[in-house]
Structure 1
Amino acid sequence: MERFFMQRKNLIVSAILILCVILSTLAFAQQNSDESHKNVKNVILMIPDGMTTAHTTLARWYQGGEPLAMDEIACGLVKTYSANNPITDSAPAATAYATGYKTQNRYLSIYPEIASMPGVGQVEENDFYKPIVTILEAAKKVGKSTGLVFTCQFPHATPAAFAAHTDNRNDYEGIAEQIVYNQVDVVLGGGWKYIDKNQRKDKEDLAGYLKNNGFVVTSSWNELKNQSPKKVWGLFAQDYMHYDFDRSGTGEPSLAEMTQKALQILSKNRNGFFLMVEGSQIDWASHANDPVGVVSEVLAFDNAVKVALDFAKSRDDTAVIVVPDHNNGGMTLGNYSASIDSVLLNDFLKHIKKATKTGAGVEEIIGNNKTDENIKKVVSKYYGIDNLTQDEINAIKNASAGKLNYVLGPIISKRSYIGWTTNDHTGEEVVLYAYHPNGYVPHGVIDNTEVCDYMAEILGIDLGSFNENAYISDADIQDKGYDVTINKDNPNNIQLEIIHNGKKYVIPQNKNIVIQGQNQFNTKYVNVYISSVKRFFVSSDIVDLIKK
């Protein structure tokens, strides 16, 4: 009998063990299934800079109430504040999307010194200003292709945050050099003068560097549109591009066309890609309180969203995230002159629909001919306004160069019952839109840093591991016993100089190289000089290069 019970006990134990193995296998399979459900090969991040719900509402009414391409994927809200301010500027806002960390206003993809907003953790003093590896840089390190598409100049805050690191978002020449040396595979937008040796203060031939490294470099859309190179920089304006309503006859491509071209090129990489597309000038139109510019740029951006969604829906490996970086202008459909019952839809639209140019486009046409008669003629032709007051005519005459949209925007807004509270950013949440082939998208109210976390998760990229040992400071190198000097003899090309075993190593800022005599070595990351505190951060693999 004892033997019987022992056999029975052994059978039960065996059965339990088998069941545990089965359950464990099922759990493992489910876990793998969940990971497979989440993971994608490609991410397209689209940023309509400064866009609010008022912007999308006006654009939707402008096109007869037809839905925008982005409408179907709205899924949540995003908190936008920076590390030190409830109202962010574009630099820390883009940094949050690029790195998963908040930083200070004006900083691009570096750790902050000041973290005064609730819930924002203070970094250690040794890490103040240290560069943070971006999702674009990490994607490139794991073998993916990378791209930036925009309508501003490429060193502007939003594209810059993904491929540059600085405490001064206005250092366009330094930022441009970093983006070039980061070798982003596809760059399409404006800003030719920042790679032209004849227009740069430091005379660096960045266009030549790109060509020598296998890039097609062009300022002609006609030249590029029928080509499909592996790597390309297409910069179609000396500085920023025209608003979409003003683009006719310029030879510049639309944002949708540039997005289509970028996807055509980047999708050749079997390892996948990361692409950031910015509707840059929604923000600029909002700063000017120009509703015509808002409609122009929101619709142009939405056309690019359609291109991205069509691409993603034609396959099963691509996610699309659409998210503004912040609000701008405090725009409302309705102002103090409007009442609920008296203002009809046509009252909002009639003047905007008559406009065929933005305020910036009208400024080009008026030029220096600022007579009363010419102003009235041009505004009548391109805005359909025939009742300008003398005060309005005088305001147009006295507008500063490049700022006529700040005059014409309010003129048409007043006639269209559109309100504005400011010419600057505001601090409310923005709408999150997301498409994933398996429906795995964020919901509810999330932080802007969580957008980066989500993208890294679905791409299978551990950003934290990249940041653990990416950069080392000049002080840390000195602590290791090396002789370290920051050479500022050429203020346009500050260098870190290291003496070790009788050899001198020169590390230029904004480049990913180390020079030792006749030898030149490439480093993993671009080297960064932080001018405000005179700290130099270099790619940490430099220490290994020096030891050899």
Structure 2
Amino acid sequence: MNFLFAFIVVGLLVFGSAASAVAGKNTDNKWNDDENKNTGNAYSNKEIKNVIVMVPDGCDQDIQTLARWYSGEELQLDSMYTGMVSTYMANSVITGSAAAGTAFATGEKTTVRFVSVGPRTDDLLTTLDAEDMAEPYVPLATVLEGAKLEGKATGLVATSEISHATPAVFAAHVDDRGNYHDIIEQMVYNDVDVVFAGGKTFLSESWRADGEDLIAALDEKGYQFVETEDEMMDLGSGKVWGMFAETSMSPEMDREDTEEPSIADMTSKAIEILSQDQEGFFLMVEGSQVDWAGHANNATYMVTDFLAFDEAVEAAVDFAEEDGHTLVLVFPDHNTGGMTIGTNGQGYTDLTVEELLETLDESGEIGWTSGGHTGGDVPLWSYGPNRPIGLFDNTEMATYVADAFGFELDDVSDELFVDVEEAFPGMWEIDTTDAANPVLVITYEEKVAELPVNKDVMTIDDGEEIDLEGVVVYAPKADDGNGKIFIPQDAVDALKEKQTKKENMKK
């Protein structure tokens, strides 16, 4: 038995190494630069100016098939299939949503529940090497943050709370997806141009442990704030947060009884606003509740939300087709529920369309393997210039977006997340007088600077406030539990420049 176990482990390691080598070898050849015949894509040689990433959370091809039967029509996605995406995370073959999102937002594998921070290394899969992983618990730059530094407009759309795992990974950095307090504060201060989702409760001072009114903070930052479909449709331009429900938005099958917009309308309005930026834009759209329906093993809930998501994809592709410089990438983060058309029952070969549709809410002919996630590859659908074709790891989705926009994610991390101890060794402390609102205090030569954690502002002792390119991130579990705190490079530069000017004035 010991020999057999050793043989299996060695086999897994060899297979993992071989798979990694093959993936590395083939990556450069996966981006489709041919004539793209019969792909609905005539723009393969044109520059990519905009990228729209769309995530039908928690599904695979079976829901696409069921949705086609249910609607009686061809789907937008039917003409867009170009490959598959692997989904495993750092510590499990079956991923969690936060870890999956981190992979395609940052290009790095991480641990379950981690939101765009490096993985812990004590429980890595045996096929992974700790030396190849990001530093544990430290913040990882996202493609949204990189696009923002490139001068592009940015947007997030979801049918969940905006602080839910998938939207959160693009604009926040914490080691637990349940830390809504820090997540949504970072999202507010990360200056995303357009945000449409649910989750108004988490902005309110009455709910927040720190008592901060984040809706007022958005107003101070110049954002419009809307709460209904009509208010959203009246928007023409500018920065906006649309919070259409106190927590999550309604399932599509219940939406008509609300004032909430559809995911397609949110997508169209986000594109309308973001496309006014001459430098281009990045937009992430999540059909959040496809996943929730999978957890509930509810086929009707799942198929109706998936069809609503397909309409959002159509809106994105319509824009991309007219624009010619927009890449649309669509893929689930993982599968949920393991739904199949068929069960172990007898007579499976005489199933009619009518019988299939009649039994969606019953145990009938729809099969489920889990109330959780499953570990298989998921489909990749795409449209636009140089669209990807083949089998990809989910981390490669982030790398491709970064390549399309012309930046390196490591460079973005260097720009946004400077270890304060490296920049100002022994010259800082965290003021926890208000435990819910910690403040980084840096004493550099004759200057004192205060930088509130989770915010993008620095106040120097003369009272001057400096807006920063990113947020201050505190990672209490980094450095073996000693903690690290990270600030943008422009904060370092501004403080040192202030001190230099002061010294020159004395001469």
Tell me whether the two structures share a fold, i.e. TM-score over 0.5.
yes
Partner of 2:448: 504
Q: Secondary structure of 1:239's match?
A: coil
Asked whether 1:425 is paired with 2:368, we answer no
Q: Give the aligned residue type for 1:53.
A: Q
CA-CA distance at 1:460 after TM superposition: 2.4
* Distance across 2 between alignment mates of 1:183 and 1:236: 19
Aligned-pair CA distance for 1:124 = 7.9
Query: Shift in Å at residue 186 of structure 1?
Result: 0.4
Which residue is 1:331 aligned to?
A: 339
> Which residue of structure 2 lines up, in the alignment, with residue 80 of structure 1?
87
Large movers: runs of 4+ above 6 Å:
none
The farther-off stretch of 492-501 and 160-169 is: 492-501
2:45 partner letter: H
Q: 1:486 — aligned with what?
A: 430
- Name the residue aligned to 1:372: none
Q: Check 1:301–1:171 CA distance in 2 against 1; reply closer, same or farther (3 A cut).
A: same
Q: 2:390 aligns with which of 444, 455, 458?
A: 444
Paired AA for residue 108 in structure 2: Y
**2:47 matches 1:98:** no
Matching residue within 395, 398, 408 for 1:462:
408
Aligned residue for 1:127, secondary structure, equals: coil
Contact 2:432–2:439 (8 Å) recurs in 1:
yes
Aligned to 1:530: 475
Deviation at 1:103, TM superposition (A): 1.2
Distance 2:188 2:257 in 1: 29
The alpha carbon displacement at 1:36 in A equals 8.5
**Larger mean Cα displacement after TM superposition, 333-342 or 223-232:** 333-342
Contact kept? 2:46, 2:324, Cα under 8 Å: no
* Secondary structure in 1 matching 2:268: helix
Task: Select between 157-166 and 339-348 the one with higher mean Cα deviation.
Answer: 339-348
Residues in 1 aligned to 2:309 and 2:147: alpha-carbon distance in whole angstroms? 24
Q: CA deviation at 1:167?
A: 0.5
Taking a change above 3 Å as real, the CA distance of residues 38 and 93 of structure 1, as seen in their structure-2 partners, is farther
Alpha-carbon offset, residue 101 of structure 1? 1.2
Q: Secondary structure at the match of 2:354?
A: helix
1:306 Cα deviation (Å)? 0.7
Is 1:265 paired with 2:213? Answer: no
Q: Which residue of 2 aligns with 1:176?
A: 184
Q: Residues 271-286 of structure 1 correspond to what in structure 2 (within 5 A)? A: 271-286=279-294
Name the SS for the 1:276 alignment partner: strand
Change in CA separation of 1:147 and 1:469 when aligned onto 2, cut-off 3 Å:
closer
> Where in structure 2 are there 5+ consecutive unaligned residues?
1-32, 34-42, 499-507
Secondary structure at 2:308 match in 1: helix
| CA distance 1:125–1:546, change in 2 (3 Å) | farther
**Maintained 8 Å contact 1:482/1:499:** no
Paired residues for 1:375-414 under 5 Å: 412-414=361-363
SS of corresponding position for 1:176: helix
Which shifted more, 79-88 or 488-497? 488-497
Q: CA deviation at 1:125?
A: 9.4
1:127 Cα offset (Å): 3.1
* Counterpart check, 1:236 vs 2:181: no
Contact kept in structure 2, 1:494 and 1:529, CA below 8 Å? no
1:449 Cα deviation (Å)?
Answer: 0.8
Q: What is the CA-CA distance between 1:441 and the residue it aligns to?
A: 1.8
Structure 1 unaligned segments of length 5 or more: list them.
1-30, 353-411
Q: 2:405 is aligned with what amino acid? A: L
Change (3 A) 1:226 1:541: closer
What's the counterpart of residue 301 of structure 2? 293
Q: Is 1:89–2:96 an aligned residue pair?
A: yes
Matched, 1:61 2:54: no
- Post-superposition offset of 1:502: 4.6
* Worse overlay, 516-525 or 253-262: 516-525
Matched, 1:471 2:417: yes
- Whether contact under 8 Å (1:143, 1:271) holds in the other structure is yes
Q: In the aligned structure 1, how far is the partner of 2:209 from the partner of 2:413?
A: 32
Which of 110, 116, 125 lines up with 1:109 in the alignment? Answer: 116
Q: Distance in 1 between matches of 2:264 and 2:44?
A: 31
Distance 1:43 1:240, change over 3 A: same
Superposed CA offset, 1:481-524 (max 9, x none): 43322233333212222222354322211111222332322222
SS at match of 1:37: coil
Counterpart Cα distance in 1 of 2:103 and 2:488? 22
Question: Aligned residue pairs: how many?
Answer: 451
| Matched position secondary structure for 1:247 | helix
Which whole-Å CA distance do the structure 2 matches of 1:177 and 1:247 have between them? 28
Partner of 1:208: 216
CA deviations on 1:179-218 (whole Å, 9 max, x unpaired) are: 1111100001111112222332212121122222221112
The match for 2:39 is: none
> The residue matched to 2:379 in structure 1 has which SS?
strand
Q: How does 1:338-349 map to 2 (within 5 A)?
A: 338-349=346-357
CA distance in 2: counterparts of 1:491 and 1:57, whole angstroms: 51
Task: Please give the alpha-carbon distance, in whole angstroms, between the structure 1 residues aligned to 2:249 and 2:134.
Answer: 40
1:100: how far off? 1.2
Q: Which residue does the alignment assign to 2:130?
A: 122
The one-character-per-residue Cα deviations of 1:308-360 (angstroms, maximum 9, x if unpaired) are 111111121111111100011111111122443243332221143xxxxxxxx
Task: Report the alpha carbon displacement of residue 468 of structure 1 after superposing the two structures with TM.
Answer: 3.3
> What's the counterpart of residue 383 of structure 1?
none
| Deviation of the 1:302 alpha carbon | 0.4
Q: Distance in 2 between matches of 1:326 and 1:112?
A: 19
Partner secondary structure for residue 216 of structure 2: helix
Give a deviation string over 1:202-244, Cα, whole Å, max 9, x none. 1212112222222111212212212212111111101100000
Please give the alpha-carbon distance, in whole angstroms, between the structure 2 residues aligned to 1:257 and 1:481. 50
Contact 2:87-2:375 at 8 Å conserved across structures:
yes
In structure 2, relative to structure 1, the CA distance for the partners of 1:281 and 1:36 (3 Å cut) is closer
Report SS of the residue matched to 2:93: coil
CA contact (8 A) 1:113 1:128 kept: yes
Q: 2:58–2:294: 8 Å Cα contact kept in structure 1?
A: yes
**Cα RMSD for the two superposed structures:** 2.2
**C-alpha separation between the residues in 2 aligned to 1:126 and 1:321?**
25
Going from structure 1 to structure 2, the CA distance change for 1:118 and 1:73 (only over 3 Å counts) comes to farther
Q: Is the 8 A contact 1:151 1:280 kept in 2?
A: yes
Paired residue type of 1:486 = I
What is the deviation of 1:417? Answer: 1.8
Give the equivalent residue in structure 2 for 1:9: none
Q: Secondary structure at the match of 1:151?
A: strand
Residue aligned with 1:307, SS: helix
Distance 2:439 2:263 in 1: 38
1:519 counterpart (464, 481, 491): 464
User: Which of 42, 45, 48 is 1:37 aligned to?
Assistant: 45
Deviation (angstroms), 1:120: 4.1
Q: 1:17-45: per-residue Cα shift (whole Å, max 9, x none)? A: xxxxxxxxxxxxxx9xxx98252111111
Q: Displacement of 1:420 after TM fit?
A: 1.1
CA shift for structure 1 position 122: 2.7
Contact 1:164 1:179 survives alignment (8 Å): yes
- Alpha-carbon contact 2:146-2:402 (below 8 Å) kept: no
